[in-house]
Structure 1
Amino acid sequence: MACRWILLILALYTSVIMILSKSTCTKGLSKEKNGTCTDMNECEDNGCGDNAVCFNTYGSYYCQCADGFRSTGDANFTGETTFKCKDINECSEVKDICGPNTICTNTIPKYYCKCSKGFYPTPGVEPYNKSINVNCTDIDECQEENTCGPNTTCINTQGSYYCLCNAGFVLKSGKTNFTDNMEQCEDICKVNKTICGNGTCHHGASSHYCTCNRGFTNYGNNGSQCTTLNCEVFKDMTNLKEDFHAAHNLMMQLKQICLELTEAKSPSQLNGEKILEQLLSAIDKLLSSGSFSYNWKVSIFLDMVDNALKIIGPLIKTPRTKKSFTQTELDLLVQTGTDLPQGTVTLSANKTQLDIHLETAAGHPPHYPGFTTVSLLSYKNLEGIADGFYSGMKPEKNQSFKINSKVVTVTVSNGNTSFLKEPVNLTFYHLTQSVESSHTCAFWDSSEEGGSWSARGCSVVESNREYTVCSCTHLSSFAVLMALYEMENKFELQLITWVGLSLSLICLFICILTFSLIRSIQSPRTTIHLHLCISLFISNLIFLAGISKTGNQVGCAVVAGMLHFFYLAAFCWMCLEGIQLFRMVVLVFNTTFKPLYMMAGGYGVPAVIVAISALVNAKGYGTKTYCWLSLEFIWSFFGPVCVIILLNIFFFLITVWKLAQKFTSLNPDLDNLQKIKAFVITAVAQLCVLGTMWIFGCFQFEKGTIAMSYLFTIFGSLQGAMLFVMHCLFSKQVREEYGNIWSRFCGPQKKTYSEFSNSHFSKAQAYKSSQDTGESQI
């Protein structure tokens, strides 16, 4: 029993000793029998997990992910952590790792590359990775036999190809190309029975062609549909032959062309460019004849031009044609092809611009004939002919209209343009630029009481001083109308005019008698005054008698021409006065103008200006409201007037400067200088009276210029009275002569012979003095 306890105690002692001996080595080391500590190899137990590599170290170890894997944590880790090794997707993480035209496939742990469909590897190694230098080259499928099938053309592309049907063949599916060789290209005439419209389809060497039935045409475009030609639009109207002869001849010519087009063999023989030039030449003659006195004639003309352009347009072979004639300017676009055109085009002609969608111009299937035409025809002078027909407009109170742009006709091949899904935009540049005037977009409506301008379907997109942009939902002939406003208080203005002009006529008549009959005051200057008064007297008399006589167009033009002449003559005589002062003061000439030279300057120059103006634009004389110059022609008067005023201002400034020098000299001739000073003052006053009146007249073309209207009327009507006050009543010598005349006829006593002799002698002395100085005394 004791022995057992002893053995147990020894065993326990031995175990304790062994435990105590082991604890003496650090972690990762094991103690040998001899008592030394040696390294433990933890990698033998694969403590790193899957897809990792274990690295043993003295007393420890560490793990790293194998090639193609990445740690979820630190790059170096131990099995005691939760880090794992996951596969790297090189295909998504490395851009173009395989190169162009390739497919990258990820695997565990690596990846591999293959060429895309339609490419093959050079050298022929596949699959591969970037360590191997491989290029993927395109496979030309079109070199293979029977790739697309019969009646086709193979087009190779990078990595693929596609097939096109040859001309005259199409796919039943309607596709334009294919790659599936199950598709077949068939004869277009068999697949599409309606391709020719009202005609018969034939298969040709290069493509199909259509032979049109009688009464139809494709304008010589063999691949286009045969469309109806309504030649009855060019009617043989007997009233046109008598009342509108030029239009009748043109209409018959166009009808013959239309009938020739309906013949199957005619279109290819017709020269579209030549026919177009014939049309524009005929339009020139028609517009130059001036035979558009009624609105129904304007309607017939515009409808005829529209129908003619629709017929002639498709005959033009060039894609873009621009022509300019005396009365017209044309921009024409032609496109052919079986596909409906897309996009927007811009045409321009003579201060106008058109923006239109090609789909709108072509017409939508099945109405698309295989060609598209768009034309913009601008008339250079039609705005004057078509002006005045506004029954289709709805004016506001005291509002009237005037055309302020060129008139244009827009024509397209689309037969249905009464209501457009996409509106067209027209830009019109104004003939008269005005800040205050409002503008309206209008078209010519032939159905409105024989023809009238109408704003229906058109609206203003943008408008400023220079141009107006219009948007319209239909096609026709278009223009921009400027709104004019009649002057309010018209009765008051007329009353002022009649009273003022009547008073001026009386005063001017007295001036004429004074300057022509009283010899003592006669001089070159009073001669200028005399003819100035005569010009104003005649112009005022004509103004009162004929300014509103617009019933007779020829008579109204004569009245306007005479007013133009005599008003210019008044300014020319005023200019001669400025020249006379300049000669007298600056050039120190005591000699006077020869009467012939004075008459040439006073009446000859205005006659030349009026003659040239009448030859350039005879229609500029006389308007529908007054017998005066038209608004666009007014500068034939204001131009010379402005030049004369500027010349006289120059002469007067030089004269005043010279006078100032002479007054400061040591021995001035005070008597002559005082007289010249008085002449200058009255001349400047006269220039202010005449010039100011016409300055106010420049403002008569805008809305809301009532104040200017009153000033213009007052100054204009009282010109004669003001001249009488300045040249007669303000002149001491003239007042004395008036007193002598009054005393002769109304005085209580008669003069004795001696008094008469003395008076006659003094007058003779004054007359002699006047002749010496070249001027009268004031």
Structure 2
Amino acid sequence: MTKFLLCVPNIDECKPRISIYCGVNAKCQNTKGSFYCRCNAGYKLLSGKAQFSNSSENTCQKTTPSETTNSTKELQQVVENIESLLTNKTVWGMEEGRNITATFTSILQKIESVVLETALKTPDQKLQKVQNRAVAVETRVVTDNCSKAVIFNLNAQMNSMDIHCSDVIQGNTQGPSVVAFVSYSSLGNIINAKFFEEANETDQVNLNSQVVSAAIGPKRNTPLSQAVSLSFQHVKVKPSIKKVFCVYWKGTKEGGHWSMEGCFLIQANKTHSICSCTHLSSFAVLMAFHREEEDPALTVLTYVGLSFSLLCLLLAALTFLLCKAIQNTSTSLHLQLSLCLFLAHLLFLTAVDRTEIKVLCAIIAGALHYLYLASFVWMLLEGLHLFLTARNLTVVNHSSINRFMKKLMFPVGYGVPAVIVAISAASRPHLYGTPDYCWLHLDQKFIWAFLGPVCAIICVSEYVALMFLT
């Protein structure tokens, strides 16, 4: 039996010989098996619809520039308000643990609602993009029906989302629908990987993307018929990727946490990750990296150098302590410096990698923080003593300087580092200890609790040296 396939060609009604006339300020759009008319760019129907059938339904009128301008200005104002909220230290600085997750969940929901409402106020403004240093927003308004084949691509801060048009309109043919895509520059510094509960304890997980939010309206929390595709640019480019987790922020009664439910990794390389999610929310990419292997030669050099340093410091401390003939204010300063450095090096050599017990690791990190800060303060006191001694060489002045230094050196030498460490530990106790070493964490620039005072001490020492030379 012979079968015949009858092929009916698709006729383009918008071209000669038919050339459907849609009226002034409008044009014909061909579709498979049909056609429709729509207004030219800068024009809109009085009804607010996006398309019509023929010239008799043409009510295309020029869009008032002020409408577009006011719409964009309103969205810009929304973005500025979001920026001020996200950068407000009083909102985040006093929050910890459960409280901060509850605040985060509430703020994300409010941001999504405000952005959607603002976009829906001006349905003629199809596409809007607004960005500042803290947040980027792109919205797209859909006023007509569309097929599943149509996919919208939204971009914000080097991140993007693909969503099917049919999921945006949600069967809503009576009015406009909107999809919003929001990217936050630094929100990941507040809600980071520590709120991810599904990783193995052996994995060092870091948030390595910006946090993004996706929402559709006016109907909220509507199930998607097809998954959305999300592309993230990595914040840090590292070749040693061990695991990649596509996660969303799951709000709970207790606050919220990162979850992988409904999100899957499609593809990942050094610079980007592509995720697929079956629902809309706020998303991010978490990564676990292979621990970089230490150079054996450098490790040996570290142990040998520190061991030799410990021996020298011990001999120096014993000399200053036991030789009474040389004991004075200067040797007392040398003794305290030697003791602080000896204890700091010894603790570093024996316990800096004891990360098994988090509380113990935090205590070790705090002790190292204190001892190394104390070492720098004692070095500063030595410099000040040398400067004052050189400037006042008379017997009377020299004696008064020694009395002054004896009263001052212990409260300053041990008190100032204690105050700095106490403030740091009280404000950010969870940032003492990292997954690899018992030292200060780099998150939230906490390392500056050590680097800041050290830089200040170095600057004062340089100033004293210049004064001494002049």
Which residues in structure 2 correspond to 1:96-135 (within 5 Å)?
A: none
8 Å CA contact 2:206–2:287 kept in 1: the answer is yes
Which residues in structure 2 correspond to 1:219-618 (within 5 Å)?
A: 289-292=95-98, 314-316=116-118, 331=137, 333=139, 335=141, 337-338=143-144, 345-347=154-156, 353-356=158-161, 363=168, 366=171, 370-376=176-182, 378=184, 380=186, 383=189, 386-387=192-193, 400-413=204-217, 415=222, 419-420=226-227, 423-427=229-233, 429-430=235-236, 442-444=246-248, 456-460=264-268, 463=271, 469-474=272-277, 476-481=281-286, 484-486=289-291, 488=293, 508=313, 511-540=316-345, 543=348, 544=350, 548=354, 551=357, 553=359, 556-584=361-389, 587=391, 589=393, 591=398, 592=401, 594-595=404-405, 596-614=407-425, 617-618=428-429
How far residue 536 of structure 1 moved from its aligned partner, in angstroms, is: 2.5
**Which amino acid in structure 2 is aligned with residue 457 of structure 1?**
L
Q: Deviations over 1:194-238 (max 9, x none)?
A: xxxxxxxxxxxxxxxxxxxxxxxxxxxxxxxxxxxxxxxxxxxxx
User: Which structure 1 residue ranges, 5 or more long, are not aligned?
Assistant: 1-152, 186-272, 464-468, 659-778
Given candidates 421, 425, 439, the residue that maps to 1:628 is 439
How far residue 532 of structure 1 moved from its aligned partner, in angstroms, is: 0.7
SS at match of 1:629: coil
Q: Hey, what's the Cα distance between the residues in 2 that align with 1:577 and 1:313?
A: 60
How far residue 374 of structure 1 moved from its aligned partner, in angstroms, is: 0.8
Q: Deviations over 1:224-283 (max 9, x none)?
A: xxxxxxxxxxxxxxxxxxxxxxxxxxxxxxxxxxxxxxxxxxxxxxxxx9xx99xx89xx
Q: Percent identity?
A: 26
Q: CA RMSD in A?
A: 5.9
Aligned to 2:52: 176
**Which amino acid in structure 2 is aligned with residue 176 of structure 1?**
F
Q: 1:303 to 1:613 in 2, by over 3 A?
A: closer
**Which amino acid in structure 2 is aligned with residue 402 of structure 1?**
N
Q: Hey, what's the Cα distance between the residues in 1 that align with 2:459 and 2:38?
A: 79
8 Å CA contact 1:309–1:411 kept in 2: the answer is no
8 Å CA contact 2:362–2:438 kept in 1: the answer is yes
Q: Hey, what's the Cα distance between the residues in 2 that align with 1:163 and 1:496?
A: 75
Q: Deviations over 1:444-480 (max 9, x none)?
A: 497xxx96569943545773xxxxx544343554335
Q: Hey, what's the Cα distance between the residues in 2 that align with 1:359 and 1:426?
A: 19
SS at match of 1:443: strand
User: Which structure 2 residue ranges, 5 or more long, are not aligned?
Assistant: 1-21, 27-36, 59-77, 123-127, 251-256
Which residues in structure 2 correspond to 1:716-735 (within 5 Å)?
A: none
8 Å CA contact 1:382–1:406 kept in 2: the answer is yes
8 Å CA contact 1:378–1:406 kept in 2: the answer is yes
Q: Hey, what's the Cα distance between the residues in 1 that align with 2:309 and 2:290?
A: 29
Q: 1:623 to 1:480 in 2, by over 3 A?
A: same
TM-score (norm 1): 0.37
Q: Deviations over 1:664-714 (max 9, x none)?
A: xxxxxxxxxxxxxxxxxxxxxxxxxxxxxxxxxxxxxxxxxxxxxxxxxxx
Q: Hey, what's the Cα distance between the residues in 2 that align with 1:639 and 1:323?
A: 33
Which residues in structure 2 correspond to 1:703-714 (within 5 Å)?
A: none
8 Å CA contact 2:155–2:181 kept in 1: the answer is no
Given candidates 447, 450, 462, the residue that maps to 1:637 is 450
Q: Deviations over 1:524-566 (max 9, x none)?
A: 321221111232344356554686366354x654443332122
Q: Hey, what's the Cα distance between the residues in 2 that align with 1:460 and 1:518?
A: 66
Q: Deviations over 1:473-492 (max 9, x none)?
A: 43554335565443547999
8 Å CA contact 1:532–1:570 kept in 2: the answer is yes
8 Å CA contact 1:354–1:424 kept in 2: the answer is yes
**Which amino acid in structure 1 is aligned with residue 373 of structure 2?**
L
8 Å CA contact 2:264–2:276 kept in 1: the answer is no
SS at match of 1:628: coil
Q: Hey, what's the Cα distance between the residues in 1 that align with 2:214 and 2:191?
A: 19
Q: Hey, what's the Cα distance between the residues in 2 that align with 1:337 and 1:462?
A: 39
Q: Hey, what's the Cα distance between the residues in 2 that align with 1:409 and 1:380?
A: 13
Aligned length: 380
How far residue 176 of structure 1 moved from its aligned partner, in angstroms, is: 0.9
Q: Hey, what's the Cα distance between the residues in 2 that align with 1:378 and 1:166?
A: 36
8 Å CA contact 1:155–1:163 kept in 2: the answer is no
Q: 1:184 to 1:409 in 2, by over 3 A?
A: closer
Aligned to 2:7: none
**Which amino acid in structure 2 is aligned with residue 178 of structure 1?**
N
Q: 1:399 to 1:559 in 2, by over 3 A?
A: closer
Which residues in structure 2 correspond to 1:207-226 (within 5 Å)?
A: none
Higher Cα Rg, which structure: 1
Q: Deviations over 1:125-166 (max 9, x none)?
A: xxxxxxxxxxxxxxxxxxxxxxxxxxxx99699xxxx99998
Q: 1:442 to 1:649 in 2, by over 3 A?
A: farther
Which residues in structure 2 correspond to 1:676-687 (within 5 Å)?
A: none
Q: Deviations over 1:546-591 (max 9, x none)?
A: 86366354x6544433321221110121233334444455x46563
Q: Hey, what's the Cα distance between the residues in 2 that align with 1:365 and 1:546?
A: 56
8 Å CA contact 2:433–2:441 kept in 1: the answer is yes
**Which amino acid in structure 2 is aligned with residue 523 of structure 1?**
N
**Which amino acid in structure 2 is aligned with residue 641 of structure 1?**
V
How far residue 371 of structure 1 moved from its aligned partner, in angstroms, is: 1.2
Which residues in structure 2 correspond to 1:174-213 (within 5 Å)?
A: 176-179=52-55
Aligned to 2:4: none
8 Å CA contact 1:361–1:373 kept in 2: the answer is no
8 Å CA contact 1:556–1:627 kept in 2: the answer is yes
Q: 1:402 to 1:361 in 2, by over 3 A?
A: farther
Q: Which moved more, 1:523-532 or 1:621-630?
A: 621-630
8 Å CA contact 1:511–1:533 kept in 2: the answer is yes
**Which amino acid in structure 2 is aligned with residue 627 of structure 1?**
C
Q: 1:631 to 1:545 in 2, by over 3 A?
A: same
8 Å CA contact 2:247–2:286 kept in 1: the answer is no
SS at match of 1:457: strand
Q: 1:305 to 1:409 in 2, by over 3 A?
A: farther
